[in-house]
A and B are shown apart, each in its own frame.
Chain A
């Protein structure tokens, strides 16, 4: 007779090393890293340029320059670019984040040779048509109007601005006024200065064939101009006041963000804090989730996040709460900080978090695209190549004492900004 009360034994979670990518160098000196994995004949090619907000002469130019790249060249209209890529069953995306800009292609391996000439054309002679810039700006402003109606978006914008300041690359927010000040020349300048060889690295993941790398060299090894651009200097101007509340009437919920500036991935405490963050609010079994959702039913979702950028990092707790219990919810969040400072994490809980993290790291490197993303983060941040295996070691070795000390250092209630919207 089966005894359901007896749990099957849990086996030790083995860790695997991150695959070592093959490195090639294109004729213009750009490094390309190849991760060959998986069973499908598919590829992801990503061009990453260090051309984000730190390189801007004017706010928002990195985002607009990257997005409008797809809208036409000297020879091809935007519509033709879209048509050709769609016909090959591929997709191409142009995106930017705070630090970098990305051009990403997904394609069947067999069509790489047909997609690359299109990308070469885009990079050699982007037209940045005036009307396309204007319509991009118009659409962005309309999207912004919707975002500004969402409490959680407003709260997030406010928090990062309070931490870094309204003029800092990690702190400024898009506004209709900023969009209105953009001139076509700003966009062209940003592209020409920063989309250059020494600011670029490429990742190729999936199942390339024997030709893939030489094809990439043929089409992209000349077109990206040789050169280097430097980051600009920006002063950090954090808000002196730590609390901010935007009241709205008729709100059924309030968005809360409680956060502070921390550090980038090079900091000695980054990996340990990543573990502490997981315990606090980084997974379903986290203390915040168990206390505020599963025990009290205050919210549908509550979480904490450690966000590492290339040059800095911040940490925050976020959730949307029923309006009349928001104050109690905030009190509970601080009381979870307090528990981590004052009490050792029980061994059972720590073991569970360790196992959970080791399993989730397996998923993080499962398949070519996931593995390439982890490798890219290591490269972009200029971290040692064994950073991922160091993280596994840190997880295996960290103690409840280490974590308590960390909480005492970084989770002091009065060190946090507090934003409430609603």
Chain B
């Protein structure tokens, strides 16, 4: 059970505090409800570029990192399709330094051309390092493009093309900031060796006077149900073939989420899971195989990816995966197998609650999807799943017409 208190400032900023006296540190986690799905199709990668700019100086603080390092802390951030999340971990007595820094960049950035110029270059190099100069680095570009035809999950967070990043202007930066980086579009979570009353005082002092923005208009774009099997083949100079199968699933908040999560665990959570055990170990058809779900705010994907073993054709490999999926649709798993998955989840949750920083991030995420207290209901939601639920989900999700297949093939010399 994670105890926390929740407040809302007059400007709409949500503040959540979790006291954890087992650590000498404090975590300040600030989640902005903006991600790559909020971008325009011709200006992709912008939310992530913007995350970089948040470290390039604010109105009163030229350098973000010097004070946090002086306070004995460290800070970082990540962007995904749904959110941009900033966090700092520092010795608890220096908590106020993080408030000063985070609130100043919410109050106003310095908007200097030079900062934008440098970070454009840095992000372009990041794009090259992670997508172009790595074998299979652009697989996600192809797979998302295939699975999402209308919805902005169509492009990866890093951006669809380098030119979108290169073309970003200061006008774009300012508009984005004023639209999304407002207190009423953010969730602040503080955890660690702190006192709730003090955190609240600090929140009011540093964030209270930042004016609210107009609530960003969120036009939900619905991806129409997929009705036909989709297929794409990419041939490149990579060492081995990879096969990806992606199936549409509901969003993170949907009542079926936990059932589908356990369905993916049947296939790939642990060394005894079906895909690893049967296809990789017993039949030796793959050298690597995995299955996971995306757990996004809007409807997500159930993804299987595998590298066929040397001498195994991609068709054989694919048929073996489908055989496993068909079995899940035809036969209910045993109570014993379900219990195993639930025991794993029980352990995972216990381990995830051993880190104060993880707790802060999770509280922010659950508040985003509706209620921070969902963090305390996860265990129950998993324990309620039945064998019948898994069977139903397998039949609902793992259908050929709900599937997008990407074959990423090694260019053969002959």
B37 sits at the interface (CB 8 A): no
Q: Quick check: B23 and A367 within 8 Å, CB to CB?
A: yes
Measured CA separation A300–B165 after assembly (Å) = 14
Give the complex CA separation of A143 and B280 in angstroms: 14
Query: Of the 9-residue stretches A354-362, A372-380, A406-414, which lies at the interface with chain B?
Result: A354-362
Measured CB to CB, the closest approach of chain A to B308, in angstroms, equals: 10
Does B400 sit at the interface, judged by CB under 8 A? Answer: no
Set of chain A residues within 8 Å of B179, measured between Cβ atoms: none
Contact for A86 among B104, B117, B281, B344, CB less than 8 A: B344
Q: Are A82 and B100 in contact (CB under 8 A)?
A: no
Docked CA distance A352–B90 (Å): 14
Q: Closest A-chain residue to B135, C-beta based?
A: A149
**A362-B125 contact in complex given A355-B72, A367-B354, C-beta closer than 8 Å:** no
- B125 adjacent to A322 (CB under 8 Å): yes
Q: Is the CB of B132 within 8 A of A39?
A: no
CB of A366 within 8 A of chain B?
yes
8 Å CB interface, B103-147 against A: 103-104, 107, 117-123, 125-126, 128-130, 132-135
Q: Given that A42-B351, A151-B133 are contacting pairs, would A85 and B271 also be in contact in the complex, using a CB cutoff of 8 Å?
A: yes
Say yes or no: A143-B287 contact (C-beta < 8 A), given A298-B125, A352-B66, A352-B69: yes
Min CB distance A352 to B, Å, is 5
**What is the CB-to-nearest-CB distance from A288 to chain B, in angstroms, rounded to a whole number?**
14
B324 within 8 A of A: no
Contact A86 B272 (CB under 8 A): yes
Checking A91, A138, A298, A355 against B70 with a beta-carbon cut-off of 8 angstroms, the contacting residue is A355
Given A89-B344, A149-B238, A366-B24, does the pair A7, B133 have CB atoms closer than 8 Å? no
Assembled-state Cα–Cα distance A337/B269 (Å): 47
A38 at the interface (CB under 8 A from B): yes
- A145 proximity list for chain B (CB < 8 A): 239-240
Chain A residues whose C-beta falls within 8 Å of the C-beta of B23 in the assembled complex: 366-367
Digitize A127-157: 1 where CB-to-B-CB distance is under 8 Å, 0 elsewhere: 0000000010011001101101111000000
Known: A8-B97, A41-B350, A90-B347. A300 touches B129 (CB 8 A): yes
Residues of chain A within 8 A of B6, CB atoms compared = none
Q: Would you list which residues of chain A between 238 and 271 have a CB under 8 Å from chain B?
A: 251-253
Question: Smallest CB–CB gap between A291 and chain B, Å?
Answer: 11
Residue with the highest number of chain A CB atoms closer than 10 Å, among B93, B118, B122: B122
Contact status of A359 and B74, CB under 8 A, knowing A88-B343, A89-B346, A299-B122? yes
The reply on B25 being an interface residue by CB < 8 A is yes
Interface string of A277-311 (1 = CB under 8 A from B): 00000011100000001111111110000000000
The answer to whether A251 and B271 touch across the interface, beta carbons within 8 angstroms, is no
Interface size on A, residues (CB 8 A): 75
Q: Which of B69, B100, B129, B271 contacts A4 (CB 8 A)?
A: B100
Contact at A253–B309, with CB atoms within 8 Å?
no
Q: Which chain B residues lie closer than 8 Å to A299 at the CB level? A: 122, 125
Does any Cβ of B come within 8 Å of A70's Cβ?
yes
B125 touches A142 (CB 8 A): no
List which B337-370 residues lie within 8 A (CB) of chain A.
339-340, 343-348, 350-351, 353-356
What residues of A have a CB within 8 angstroms of the CB of B96 in the complex? 8
**Cross-chain contact B125 with A253 (CB below 8 angstroms):** yes
Q: How far is the CA of A256 from the CA of B367 in the complex (A)?
A: 43
Instruction: Give the distance in Å from the alpha carbon of A2 to the alpha carbon of B91 in the complex.
Output: 24
> Given the complex, which residues of B lie within 8 Å of A150, measured CB to CB?
134-135
| CA A150 to CA B133, docked complex, whole Å | 7
A11-52: contact bitstring with B at CB < 8 Å (1 yes, 0 no)?
Answer: 101101000000000000000000001111110000000000
What is the number of contacts between chain A and chain B, taking CB atoms within 8 Å? 215
Contact A40:B277 (CB < 8 A) given known A13-B91, A359-B91, A366-B23: no
Is A119 on the interface with B (CB-CB < 8 A)? no
Verify B128–A252 contact, CB threshold 8 A: yes
Query: In this complex, what residue of B is CB-closest to A44?
Result: B351
User: Most chain-A Cβ atoms within 10 A of its Cβ — which of B61, B104, B270, B277?
Assistant: B270
User: How far apart sit A148 and B239, CA to CA, in the bound complex (Å)?
Assistant: 9
Q: Which of B89, B103, B121 is the one whose CB lies under 8 Å from A297?
A: B121
Q: Which residues of A (363-392) have their CB < 8 Å from a CB of B?
A: 363, 366-369
A77–B129 alpha-carbon span in the complex (Å): 42
User: Is B59 an interface residue, CB under 8 A from the partner?
Assistant: yes
Q: Among the listed A40, A83, A85, which residue makes an inter-chain contact with B353, where contact means beta carbons less than 8 Å apart?
A: A40
| Residues A142 and B287 in contact, CB atoms below 8 Å apart | yes
Contacts of A61 in B (CB 8 A): none
CB <8 Å contact, A300 and B240: no
Q: Complex Cα distance A276/B20, Å?
A: 34
Q: How far is the CB of B182 from chain A (nearest CB, A)?
A: 17
Residues of A within 8 A of B347 (CB): 42, 89-91, 106-108
A209 within 8 A of partner (CB): no
For A422, the chain B residues whose CB sits under 8 A away are 133
A285 touches B125 (CB 8 A): no
Chain A residues within 8 Å of B119, by CB: 297
Nearest-neighbour CB distance to chain B for A361, whole angstroms, equals 9
Asked whether, in the complex, the Cβ of A359 is within 8 Å of the Cβ of B67, the reply is no
**In the complex, are the beta carbons of A38 and B354 less than 8 A apart?**
yes
Given contacts A41-B350, A106-B347, A356-B70, list 20 more A-B pairs with CB under 8 A: A2-B206, A2-B209, A7-B67, A14-B24, A38-B354, A42-B350, A42-B351, A70-B271, A79-B282, A87-B272, A87-B336, A142-B288, A143-B288, A145-B240, A253-B128, A253-B133, A321-B125, A351-B70, A355-B70, A363-B74
Residues of chain B whose beta carbon lies under 8 Å from any beta carbon of chain A: 20, 22-25, 59-61, 65-67, 69-76, 89-91, 93-94, 96-97, 99-100, 103-104, 107, 117-123, 125-126, 128-130, 132-135, 205-206, 209, 238-240, 269-273, 277, 281-282, 284, 287-288, 307, 309-310, 336, 339-340, 343-348, 350-351, 353-356
* A interface residues with partner B (beta carbon < 8 Å): 2, 4-5, 7-8, 10-11, 13-14, 16, 37-42, 70, 78-79, 82-83, 85-91, 106-108, 135, 138-139, 142-143, 145-146, 148-151, 251-253, 283-285, 293-301, 320-322, 351-353, 355-356, 358-360, 362-363, 366-369, 422
A-B contact pairs, 7 of them (CB 8 A): A2-B206, A85-B270, A87-B336, A90-B347, A139-B287, A283-B69, A297-B119
